[in-house]
Protein backbone atom coordinates (compact mmCIF):
# COMPACT_ATOMS: atom_id res chain seq x y z
CA UNK A 1 0.00 0.00 0.00
CA UNK A 2 1.48 3.32 -1.09
CA UNK A 3 0.78 6.25 1.22
CA UNK A 4 1.70 9.93 1.52
CA UNK A 5 2.88 10.74 5.06
CA UNK A 6 1.35 13.90 6.52
CA UNK A 7 0.69 15.48 9.93
CA UNK A 8 -2.72 17.14 10.02
CA UNK A 9 -3.81 19.96 12.34
CA UNK A 10 -7.17 19.19 13.96
CA UNK A 11 -7.27 21.62 16.87
CA UNK A 12 -10.92 22.56 17.55
CA UNK A 13 -12.10 20.45 14.61
CA UNK A 14 -14.99 17.99 15.04
CA UNK A 15 -13.99 14.33 14.94
CA UNK A 16 -16.15 11.23 15.30
CA UNK A 17 -15.17 7.96 16.93
CA UNK A 18 -17.57 5.06 16.49
CA UNK A 19 -17.00 2.59 19.32
CA UNK A 20 -16.70 3.21 23.03
CA UNK A 21 -14.54 0.25 24.06
CA UNK A 22 -10.83 0.03 24.78
CA UNK A 23 -9.72 0.68 21.20
CA UNK A 24 -12.11 3.59 20.86
CA UNK A 25 -10.82 5.00 24.15
CA UNK A 26 -7.23 5.06 22.85
CA UNK A 27 -8.35 6.84 19.68
CA UNK A 28 -10.34 9.40 21.66
CA UNK A 29 -7.41 10.16 23.95
CA UNK A 30 -5.10 10.66 20.96
CA UNK A 31 -7.59 13.02 19.33
CA UNK A 32 -8.04 15.01 22.53
CA UNK A 33 -4.28 15.34 22.87
CA UNK A 34 -4.27 16.86 19.38
CA UNK A 35 -6.93 19.36 20.45
CA UNK A 36 -9.89 17.90 18.55
CA UNK A 37 -13.55 18.21 19.54
CA UNK A 38 -14.57 14.57 19.86
CA UNK A 39 -17.95 12.90 19.53
CA UNK A 40 -18.27 9.21 20.43
CA UNK A 41 -21.07 7.01 19.15
CA UNK A 42 -21.59 3.87 21.21
CA UNK A 43 -24.28 2.14 23.27
CA UNK A 44 -21.84 2.12 26.23
CA UNK A 45 -18.52 3.68 27.21
CA UNK A 46 -15.45 2.61 29.12
CA UNK A 47 -15.17 4.20 32.59
CA UNK A 48 -12.54 6.61 31.27
CA UNK A 49 -14.73 7.74 28.37
CA UNK A 50 -17.78 7.97 30.63
CA UNK A 51 -15.83 10.27 32.94
CA UNK A 52 -14.78 12.46 30.01
CA UNK A 53 -18.38 12.67 28.83
CA UNK A 54 -19.60 13.56 32.32
CA UNK A 55 -17.09 16.44 32.42
CA UNK A 56 -18.14 17.64 28.99
CA UNK A 57 -14.74 16.93 27.46
CA UNK A 58 -16.31 14.68 24.82
CA UNK A 59 -19.82 14.39 23.41
CA UNK A 60 -21.51 11.01 23.70
CA UNK A 61 -24.23 9.92 21.30
CA UNK A 62 -25.62 6.86 23.03
CA UNK A 63 -26.90 4.18 20.70
CA UNK A 64 -26.04 2.53 17.41
CA UNK A 65 -24.23 4.25 14.56
CA UNK A 66 -26.29 6.19 12.05
CA UNK A 67 -24.83 7.28 8.71
CA UNK A 68 -25.87 10.92 9.11
CA UNK A 69 -23.70 11.22 12.23
CA UNK A 70 -20.58 11.64 10.10
CA UNK A 71 -21.88 14.88 8.55
CA UNK A 72 -19.66 17.87 9.25
CA UNK A 73 -16.81 15.83 10.73
CA UNK A 74 -13.18 16.49 9.85
CA UNK A 75 -12.14 12.91 10.64
CA UNK A 76 -14.02 9.71 11.35
CA UNK A 77 -12.62 6.64 13.10
CA UNK A 78 -14.36 3.28 13.25
CA UNK A 79 -13.32 1.31 16.32
CA UNK A 80 -16.03 -1.28 16.84
CA UNK A 81 -15.70 -5.07 16.89
CA UNK A 82 -18.49 -5.40 14.29
CA UNK A 83 -17.18 -5.61 10.68
CA UNK A 84 -20.59 -4.67 9.28
CA UNK A 85 -20.77 -1.50 11.35
CA UNK A 86 -17.19 -0.60 10.45
CA UNK A 87 -17.98 -1.03 6.74
CA UNK A 88 -20.99 1.28 7.11
CA UNK A 89 -18.88 3.88 8.90
CA UNK A 90 -16.31 3.78 6.10
CA UNK A 91 -18.91 4.04 3.35
CA UNK A 92 -20.76 6.89 5.06
CA UNK A 93 -17.57 8.92 5.47
CA UNK A 94 -16.16 8.24 2.01
CA UNK A 95 -19.45 9.12 0.34
CA UNK A 96 -19.20 12.57 1.94
CA UNK A 97 -15.49 13.01 1.19
CA UNK A 98 -14.48 12.74 4.86
CA UNK A 99 -11.21 11.13 5.88
CA UNK A 100 -11.88 7.83 7.63
CA UNK A 101 -9.82 5.26 9.49
CA UNK A 102 -11.16 1.82 10.37
CA UNK A 103 -8.99 0.14 12.98
CA UNK A 104 -7.13 -2.91 11.64
CA UNK A 105 -8.95 -2.74 8.28
CA UNK A 106 -6.69 -0.74 5.93
CA UNK A 107 -8.84 -1.61 2.92
CA UNK A 108 -11.64 0.51 4.45
CA UNK A 109 -9.39 3.48 5.26
CA UNK A 110 -8.56 6.71 3.47
CA UNK A 111 -5.84 7.38 6.04
CA UNK A 112 -3.78 5.22 8.38
CA UNK A 113 -2.84 6.18 11.93
CA UNK A 114 0.84 5.31 12.44
CA UNK A 115 2.46 3.95 15.56
CA UNK A 116 3.74 7.00 17.43
CA UNK A 117 6.32 8.14 19.93
CA UNK A 118 5.66 11.58 21.46
CA UNK A 119 8.14 13.61 23.44
CA UNK A 120 6.64 17.06 23.88
CA UNK A 121 6.51 18.64 20.42
CA UNK A 122 8.58 15.81 18.96
CA UNK A 123 6.51 13.17 17.20
CA UNK A 124 8.01 10.09 15.57
CA UNK A 125 5.64 8.10 13.39
CA UNK A 126 6.06 4.58 12.01
CA UNK A 127 3.91 2.87 9.42
CA UNK A 128 4.23 -0.45 7.64
CA UNK A 129 1.33 0.38 5.33
CA UNK A 130 -0.81 -2.13 7.18
CA UNK A 131 1.57 -4.96 6.28
CA UNK A 132 2.67 -5.71 9.85
CA UNK A 133 1.25 -3.80 12.83
CA UNK A 134 3.40 -6.04 15.03
CA UNK A 135 6.57 -4.73 13.40
CA UNK A 136 5.32 -1.15 13.74
CA UNK A 137 4.82 -1.74 17.48
CA UNK A 138 8.30 -3.27 17.81
CA UNK A 139 9.89 -0.29 16.06
CA UNK A 140 7.91 2.10 18.26
CA UNK A 141 9.21 0.37 21.39
CA UNK A 142 12.77 0.66 20.09
CA UNK A 143 12.30 4.37 19.41
CA UNK A 144 10.76 4.88 22.86
CA UNK A 145 13.89 3.47 24.48
CA UNK A 146 16.19 5.56 22.29
CA UNK A 147 14.31 8.87 22.47
CA UNK A 148 13.75 9.39 26.19
CA UNK A 149 11.56 11.97 27.95
CA UNK A 150 14.45 14.47 27.94
CA UNK A 151 13.68 15.15 24.28
CA UNK A 152 10.55 17.07 25.33
CA UNK A 153 12.36 19.84 27.27
CA UNK A 154 15.26 19.67 24.79
CA UNK A 155 12.99 20.57 21.90
CA UNK A 156 11.21 23.21 23.99
CA UNK A 157 14.59 24.83 24.66
CA UNK A 158 15.60 24.71 21.00
CA UNK A 159 12.29 26.27 20.02
CA UNK A 160 12.80 29.06 22.56
CA UNK A 161 16.28 29.74 21.16
CA UNK A 162 14.96 29.81 17.60
CA UNK A 163 12.17 32.22 18.53
CA UNK A 164 14.61 34.56 20.27
CA UNK A 165 17.22 34.49 17.52
CA UNK A 166 14.73 35.04 14.71
CA UNK A 167 13.16 37.94 16.58
CA UNK A 168 16.53 39.61 17.15
CA UNK A 169 18.46 38.56 14.05
CA UNK A 170 16.01 37.46 11.33
CA UNK A 171 17.83 36.81 8.09
CA UNK A 172 21.25 36.65 9.72
CA UNK A 173 23.15 33.77 8.07
CA UNK A 174 25.03 33.12 11.31
CA UNK A 175 21.79 31.88 12.90
CA UNK A 176 22.12 28.56 11.08
CA UNK A 177 25.62 28.17 12.49
CA UNK A 178 24.37 28.76 16.04
CA UNK A 179 21.50 26.29 15.61
CA UNK A 180 23.96 23.69 14.32
CA UNK A 181 26.32 24.26 17.24
CA UNK A 182 23.46 23.81 19.71
CA UNK A 183 22.29 20.47 18.34
CA UNK A 184 25.89 19.23 18.11
CA UNK A 185 26.66 20.32 21.69
CA UNK A 186 26.32 18.16 24.86
CA UNK A 187 23.09 20.02 25.65
CA UNK A 188 20.89 16.91 25.46
CA UNK A 189 23.01 14.77 27.86
CA UNK A 190 23.12 17.68 30.30
CA UNK A 191 19.32 17.96 30.21
CA UNK A 192 19.04 14.20 30.64
CA UNK A 193 21.15 14.41 33.81
CA UNK A 194 19.22 17.40 35.08
CA UNK A 195 22.46 19.40 35.16
CA UNK A 196 21.08 22.94 35.00
CA UNK A 197 24.47 24.59 35.48
CA UNK A 198 25.95 22.68 32.56
CA UNK A 199 22.99 23.65 30.38
CA UNK A 200 23.45 27.29 31.39
CA UNK A 201 27.18 27.07 30.60
CA UNK A 202 26.54 25.64 27.13
CA UNK A 203 23.98 28.32 26.33
CA UNK A 204 26.38 31.05 27.41
CA UNK A 205 29.25 29.60 25.37
CA UNK A 206 27.20 29.38 22.18
CA UNK A 207 24.74 32.26 22.53
CA UNK A 208 26.38 34.62 25.01
CA UNK A 209 27.61 36.96 22.27
CA UNK A 210 24.18 37.43 20.69
CA UNK A 211 21.68 37.16 23.58
CA UNK A 212 21.84 38.83 26.98
CA UNK A 213 21.75 37.03 30.33
CA UNK A 214 18.04 37.68 30.87
CA UNK A 215 17.18 36.13 27.51
CA UNK A 216 19.31 33.08 28.26
CA UNK A 217 17.60 32.58 31.62
CA UNK A 218 14.20 32.83 29.96
CA UNK A 219 15.28 30.19 27.46
CA UNK A 220 16.55 27.98 30.28
CA UNK A 221 13.15 28.15 31.98
CA UNK A 222 11.54 26.59 28.90
CA UNK A 223 13.47 23.39 29.57
CA UNK A 224 12.48 23.11 33.22
User: What is residue 50's predicted lDDT score, i.e. its pLDDT?
Assistant: 98
Q: Quick check: helix, strand or coil at residue 16?
A: strand
Q: Quick check: helix, strand or coil at residue 38?
A: strand
Please give the helix or strand (H or E) that residue 37 lies within, else none: strand 37-42
Tens place of pLDDT for every residue, the chain, 224 residues? 788 999 999 999 999 999 999 999 999 999 999 999 999 999 999 999 999 999 999 999 999 999 999 999 999 999 999 999 999 999 999 999 999 999 989 899 999 999 999 999 999 999 988 788 899 999 999 999 999 999 999 999 999 999 998 888 767 888 899 999 999 999 999 999 999 999 999 999 999 988 889 989 999 888 77
Question: DSSP of 126-178, one letter per residue?
Answer: E--TTS-HHHHHHHHHHHHHHS-TTHHHHHHHHHHHHHHHHHHHTT-THHHHH
Rounded CA separation 213/66 (Å): 60
Q: Which domains does the chain have, with CATH numbers?
A: 14-113 (3.40.50.720), 151-222 (no CATH)
Q: Quick check: helix, strand or coil at residue 39?
A: strand
**pTM summary value:** 0.84
Q: Quick check: helix, strand or coil at residue 34?
A: coil
User: What is residue 133's predicted lDDT score, i.e. its pLDDT?
Assistant: 85
User: What is residue 107's predicted lDDT score, i.e. its pLDDT?
Assistant: 92
Amino acid sequence: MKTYPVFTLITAKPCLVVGGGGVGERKVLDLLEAGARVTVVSPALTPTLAALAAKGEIRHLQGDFQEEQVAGMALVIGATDDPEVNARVSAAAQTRGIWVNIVDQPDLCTFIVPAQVRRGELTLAISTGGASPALARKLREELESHFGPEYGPYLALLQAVRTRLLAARRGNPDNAVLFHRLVQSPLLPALSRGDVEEVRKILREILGQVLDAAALEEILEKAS
